[in-house]
Amino acid sequence: TGLITIDEGFVNTGSTTSSICYLDGENGILRYRGYPIETLAENCDFVETSYLLIYGELPTADQLNEFRSSIRKHTMIHEDMRSFYNGFPRDAHPMAILSSVVGALSTFYQDSLDPHDAKEVEISIHRLLAKLPTIAAYSYKKSVGQPFPYPNNALTYCENFLEMMFGTPAEDYHPDPDFVKALNLLLIVHADHEQNCSTSTVRIVGSSNANLFASISAGICALWGPLHGGANEACVNMLQQIADDGGDVEKYVRMAKDKQDGFRLMGFGHRVYKNRDPRAIIIKEACDTLLAKMDIKDPLFDVAQRLEEVALQDPYFVERKLYPNVDFYSGVIYRAIGIPVQMFTVLFAMGRLPGWIAHWVEMHNSPGTRIGRPRQVYTGPTKRDFVPIENR
């Protein structure tokens, strides 16, 4: 079998070639299909960015209209699927609901499960993009015990999501345009990040020829962990704890440096960025703008800024090149919009969906794709003789 090289955590192992996302961690550069995320965040909405990621080119006006209207057609989920939610405990984590319901899409759409049939894949893509906000909003409605609204296809993607989250039959809710803009920006900067943990999961599950819904459901599970997408929830919980603890950021920086402690600064550090995470820069600026415009004073934003300042002056963080990442300030914007902490990682999943899809499609369209099957070096006992149970 030849010599097997162990690369714990795949630090130096390339799993594929890809033309979707360019990431330069030394210089803090991130581009989707060649376009800098800063430009996309300024000029596109999330649906247009999704089109770019999945199909490789910016759409023409006609292509974009067609894409938007097709997605609108698929925003409802099957009535039987709505009844799933009755079975979940009210305090279920919305990420658990999200992965379960997305996995269950393959039970409702058995007509589109063949990964090698371009038409079936295409409709699955539209269904997923359309239904994820609905599935996500219902996971929140479940937690607060409010009725599940139907999507409103007169609205844009982000407006629709916010209305499903916060509207009730008793009270109309129309999202503030600044919230809609901020949400678009957040989804765009989360939309792809090459071979991260969840995207690699989607690819490896897909490499067995599992269907797209199953592959995306697996990606959602991978994203949930606090070292990956779950860091946004963990980060705001940490900022809250620091605030409740008197705002002593120095104490938490000391704790993060103490290897015995096991505590890490959530929203800090990255496998690839050894410089500022360009997403964090965009999000921090958006925080400044949104909070000032809406005249919101969030004590957690102050804690976050002081924590960043103290950490970035500390030799521990400087030597290890640990900077705030995408998850450090995003929670402050979500809070301003009114999104509850448990939903933060769900928002990350909504943002990352087009990236997952783009990688899954690219993999299937690449000649020579084989099932993902890493090797190992066995360290267990050599052959042993069986011992009958009475002699053990």
Which residues sit at the interface with ligand CMC, rule CB under 6 A? 9, 196, 227-229, 231, 256, 264-271, 320, 322, 325-327
Please give the single-letter amino acid code of residue 301: F
Rounded Cα distance between 230 and 347, Å, is 11
- Contacting residues for 54 by C-beta, under 8 A, at least 6 apart: 125, 354, 357, 358, 361
* CB 86, min distance to ligand CMC, A: 32
Residue positions counted in the chain: 392
Rounded Cα distance between 164 and 131, Å, is 12
* CB 268, min distance to ligand CMC, A: 4
User: 100-114 b/e with 16+ CB inside 10 Å = b?
Assistant: bbbbbbbeebeebbe
93 counts as catalytic: no
- By beta-carbon proximity to ligand CMC, the closer residue of 159 and 233 is 233
- By beta-carbon proximity to ligand CMC, the closer residue of 271 and 375 is 271
Exactly one of 93, 190, 270, 359 is catalytic; name it.
Answer: 270
270 counts as catalytic: yes
* CB 280, min distance to ligand CMC, A: 9
- By beta-carbon proximity to ligand CMC, the closer residue of 23 and 291 is 23
- By beta-carbon proximity to ligand CMC, the closer residue of 151 and 269 is 269
Using Cβ positions, the residue closest to ligand CMC within the complex turns out to be 269
335 touches 298 (CB < 8 A): yes
- Contacting residues for 183 by C-beta, under 8 A, at least 6 apart: 46, 158, 161, 162, 337, 347
Q: What are phi and psi of 57, to 5 degrees?
A: -130, 155
Catalytic residues: 270, 327
